[in-house]
A and B are shown apart, each in its own frame.
Chain A
């Protein structure tokens, strides 16, 4: 099976712009989670989607949003970019939201905001 894929892998944006990141889960997986990783804060949970519904959300401002499509692919959007949004954005997929199942992570999208 192909793993989790994320596009693009690298992105450079300017403050104030918006950005959309894409994630394709492992075939058959219906749960997609997003995480942000920065040197200062480490890995932090953004949100989780299952069957096109947001099931859980981390402590991030409303500028961070996401959605999931009927084929389980997911996108996350960050509006009005700030320098502090520079980070590695990771997507993870799982068959369900059941915590007895492990999540499989993609390679991430490295976003640089200048």
Chain B
């Protein structure tokens, strides 16, 4: 499976956009990019995922570069409740039963 690299921590001002980068330079054409977040001691929360195209939902936008070697999760208007650890994960398509491999993630602190 492709590995991901994320900065260990980031700060963001409340109300501003939070842009969380993820490097997955060894990703193959059949691997999804998933984003989850985990607020302290709770279960991880699904945010968004994509294969090749950019994706947007009510929580966030996912921007995947054309070569698919990196992606950015965008929280358009960060609030204090967005403070969490954010995980970027690649997951092989078609490999049924293959589960998520979580790295250390990025600890995002939203500051008032």
Contact surface of A with B, Cβ cutoff 8 Å: 4, 33, 35, 42-45, 48, 50, 55-56, 58, 88, 90, 92, 96-100, 102-108, 110
Complexed CA–CA distance, A104 and B101 (Å): 15
Given contacts A56-B98, A88-B41, A97-B96, 5 further A-B contacts (CB under 8 A): A44-B102, A90-B44, A92-B43, A105-B44, A107-B43
Interface centre among A4, A42, A98, A102 (most CB of B within 10 A): A102
Q: How many residues of B contact A (CB 8 A)?
A: 24
**Residues of B75-112 contacting chain A, CB below 8 A:** 87, 91-104
By Cβ-Cβ distance, the 5 closest A-B pairs, closest first, are A55-B97, A105-B43, A56-B97, A43-B102, A97-B96
Summarize A's interface: helix, strand, loop or mixed: strand
List 16 A–B pairs whose Cβ atoms lie within 8 Å, in order of A's numbering.
Answer: A35-B99, A42-B104, A43-B44, A44-B102, A45-B99, A45-B100, A55-B97, A56-B97, A90-B44, A92-B43, A99-B94, A100-B93, A102-B46, A103-B46, A106-B43, A107-B43
